[in-house]
């Protein structure tokens, strides 16, 4: 492409939830576009009417928005090249398909699916191409009269690309370099289906041309059909405008056997979709990263590092930094196995990195979702600050911080009861008195007083520290005891000690 502004597109088909790999393709499109000052287009490839799923398009948009990679043009905003849904562009494709027929680069085929099935069974490695064309019912094997008759009679038919014999189709992939295919290995792909809709092959070429796409990123699974597309660009007379191709490495299952699929989520115990996806028909929900407690920053960060690297030791990247540093040259060729442990590590890093303020709304949602009422946002902020280093997922904030808002309902009695003594009861009784008289409620002072009391009463700190923690939070977890006490306040602390004393001595 010469002298044109960069335009890329993410072209999902609205058939269900948005897969990890899809988000990464969208991300790489976005990064490249933004870096080049270009335009990121969303094009909905809904040419398969049998697989259309209600709500999937909006869901895809929501996922992209959650990730922060909203398209510049698309069905949601419209744009100069609208419509952006292929189903709404149906009429456009027939014109080009007919043009190809007129120029001898495509032909009508009247074979029924049953006939083709039979042929496939009969001929091993059957390929609808120059070798078998003449044995089938199409405008090459039939006379002009026969074809006209069938057409006039409205017999269902498709239009197929007439792939030439003995040619090499060569192109330069931005990631893989030179790739060559022999046309004898390429079959006469259907371009226009019997229902009048184009197949992916025709639609992608026509729309990339019409929408002035300059760089086409897609998964490696498309590599084998690249020669079909290149032939089409040539036959349509647009070769000079063909986008540069970039076939992205696949994201593989953790065991390396095959590309990651929707079903793997349940099998390996991690999400595959960006956000929860509910199947309207079966009512089944496929879990998403967002609901599992991932931050979009972390999700984008680890997806960006899957198949790409900056060439430095930096691991943590914001979207902005990714835009800055991204380069096609540093995209890998080989597929990457998905590592959920590393994904979680990215999330923990981002939780640590982000301020309590920017985490606030999300943490609040996690707590409220569990029925915890948050009345005091200032307190919430302080709580987040003291517990965030020990959270890997956003959902961990529940266990790590409920006790700041609710008195524990249960205690880890096994950890205290066996070693409980009356002198310990006395110790905490005295502690209540001391704390009640304290003028300043502040962590260091609380700790000093506690330790002083230990000395007075002859307790080893360890003997009473753990019980104290359990009184306050219910179990053996949480930040430093006196940070908790400080945040809880005098009244609540005393209530908790009294309440726990009852449970411990019961």
Six-digit token pair at 275?
């956000």
Please answer whether residues 251 and 336 qualify as being in contact, where contact means their C-beta atoms are separated by less than 8 angstroms.
yes
Both structure tokens of 105: 């680069």
Nearest distance from residue 49's CB to RNA, in Å?
9
Q: Do the Cβ atoms of 343 and 298 come closer than 8 Å?
A: yes
Q: How far is the CB of 339 from RNA (least distance, A)?
A: 4
- Three-state DSSP at 491 gives helix
Residue 470 C-beta: closest distance to RNA, Å? 9
Question: Least distance in Å: CB of 307 to RNA?
Answer: 4
Q: Is the dihedral of CA 140, 146, 152, 153 positive or negative?
A: negative
Q: For tokens 């306050």, name the residue.
A: 472
Provide, rounded to whole angstroms, the least separation between the CB of residue 173 and RNA.
Answer: 8
User: Taking the mean position of all CA atoms in its chain, how far away is CA 425?
Assistant: 53
State which residue, 11 or 150, has the beta carbon closest to RNA.
11
* Closer Cβ to RNA, 2 or 232, answer by number: 232
Spell out the residues 6+ positions from residue 438 whose beta carbon is closer than 8 angstroms to its own.
445, 446, 449, 490
Closest separation between CB of residue 86 and RNA, Å? 8
Closer Cβ to RNA, 222 or 238, answer by number:
222
Q: To the nearest whole angstrom, how small is the minimum distance from the Cβ of residue 11 to RNA?
A: 6
Q: How many CB atoms within 10 Å of residue 27? A: 25
CB of 37 to RNA, least distance (A): 26
For residues 78 and 156, which CB has a smaller minimum distance to RNA in the complex? 156
> Backbone dihedral region of 16: left (phi > 0), alpha (psi from -120 to 50 degrees) or beta?
left
Nearer to RNA, 236 or 484 (CB): 484
289-299 as b/e: b if 16+ CB within 10 A:
bbbbbbbbbbb
> Choosing from 259, 262, 353, 490, which is the catalytic residue?
262
Contact criterion met (CB below 8 Å) for 42 and 67: no
Quickly tell me which residue has 């498309």 as its tokens. Answer: 222
Answer for the pair 483, 443: CB distance below 8 angstroms, yes or no: yes
* Cβ–Cβ < 8 Å for 356, 381: yes
**C-alpha angle 379-380-385 in degrees, rounded to nearest 5:** 100
CA distance 357 to 405: 18
* Dihedral over Cα of 317, 318, 319, 320: its sign: negative
CB of 481 to RNA, least distance (A): 7
**262: annotated active-site residue:** yes
d(CA 216, CA 7): 9
Instruction: Record the tokens describing residue 443, joined without a space.
Output: 């962590």
Q: Where are the alpha helices (DSSP H) in 110-263?
A: 113-122, 144-152, 200-210, 226-235
Closer by beta carbon to RNA, 25 or else 39: 25
Q: How far apart are CA 210 and CA 220, in angstroms?
A: 24
Number of H helices, E strands in the chain: 20, 13
DSSP 18-61: PBHHHHHHHHHHHHHHHHTT-EEEE-B----GGG--TTHHHHHH
- Bridge partners of 442, per DSSP, are none
Choice between 290 and 344, CB closer to RNA:
344
Active site residues: 262
């Amino acid at each position: 492409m010469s002298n044109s502004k960069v335009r890329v597109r993410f072209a999902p088909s609205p058939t269900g939830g948005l897969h990890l790999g899809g988000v990464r393709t969208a991300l790489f499109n976005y990064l490249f576009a933004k870096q080049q000052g270009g335009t990121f287009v969303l094009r909905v490839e809904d040419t398969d009417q049998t697989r259309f799923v209600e709500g999937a398009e909006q869901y895809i948009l929501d996922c992209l928005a959650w990730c922060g990679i909203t398209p510049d043009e698309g069905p949601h905003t419209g744009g100069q090249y609208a419509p952006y849904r292929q189903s709404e562009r149906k009429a456009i494709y027939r014109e080009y398909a007919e043009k190809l027929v007129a120029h001898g680069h495509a032909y009508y085929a009247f074979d029924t699916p049953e006939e083709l099935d039979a042929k496939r069974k009969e001929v091993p490695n059957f390929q609808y191409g120059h070798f078998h064309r003449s044995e089938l019912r199409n405008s090459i094997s039939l006379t002009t009269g026969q074809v006209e008759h069938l057409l006039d009679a409205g017999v269902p038919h498709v239009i197929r690309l007439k792939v030439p014999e003995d040619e090499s189709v060569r192109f330069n992939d931005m990631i893989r370099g030179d790739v060559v295919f022999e046309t004898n290995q390429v079959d006469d792909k259907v371009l226009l289906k019997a229902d009048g809709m184009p197949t992916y092959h025709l639609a992608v070429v026509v729309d990339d041309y019409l929408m002035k796409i300059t760089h086409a990123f897609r998964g490696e699974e498309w590599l084998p059909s690249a020669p079909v597309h290149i032939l089409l660009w040539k036959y349509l007379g647009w070769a000079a405008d063909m986008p540069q191709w970039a076939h992205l490495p696949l994201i593989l299952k953790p065991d390396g056997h095959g590309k990651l699929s929707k079903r793997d989520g349940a099998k390996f115990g991690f999400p595959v979709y960006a956000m929860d996806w509910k199947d309207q028909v079966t009512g089944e929900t496929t879990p998403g990263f967002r609901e599992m407690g991932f931050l979009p920053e972390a999700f984008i960060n680890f997806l960006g590092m899957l198949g790409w690297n900056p060439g430095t030791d930096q691991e943590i990247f914001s979207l902005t930094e990714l835009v800055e540093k991204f380069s096609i040259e540093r995209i890998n060729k080989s597929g990457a196995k998905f590592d959920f442990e590393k994904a979680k590590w990215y999330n923990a890093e981002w939780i640590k990195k982000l301020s309590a303020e920017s985490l606030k709304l999300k943490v609040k949602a996690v707590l409220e979702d569990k029925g915890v009422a948050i009345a005091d946002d200032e307190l919430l902020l302080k709580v987040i600050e003291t517990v965030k280093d020990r959270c890997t997922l956003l959902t961990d904030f529940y266990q790590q911080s409920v006790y700041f808002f609710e008195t524990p309902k249960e205690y880890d009695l096994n950890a205290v009861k066996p070693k409980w003594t009356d002198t310990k009861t006395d110790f905490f009784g005295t502690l209540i008195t001391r704390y009640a008289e304290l003028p300043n409620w502040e962590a260091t002072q609380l700790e000093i007083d506690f330790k002083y009391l230990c000395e007075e009463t002859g307790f080893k700190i360890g003997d009473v520290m753990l019980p104290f923690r359990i009184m306050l939070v219910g179990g053996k977890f949480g930040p430093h005891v006196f940070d908790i006490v400080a945040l809880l306040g005098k009244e609540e602390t005393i209530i908790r000690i009294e309440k726990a004393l009852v449970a411990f001595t019961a």
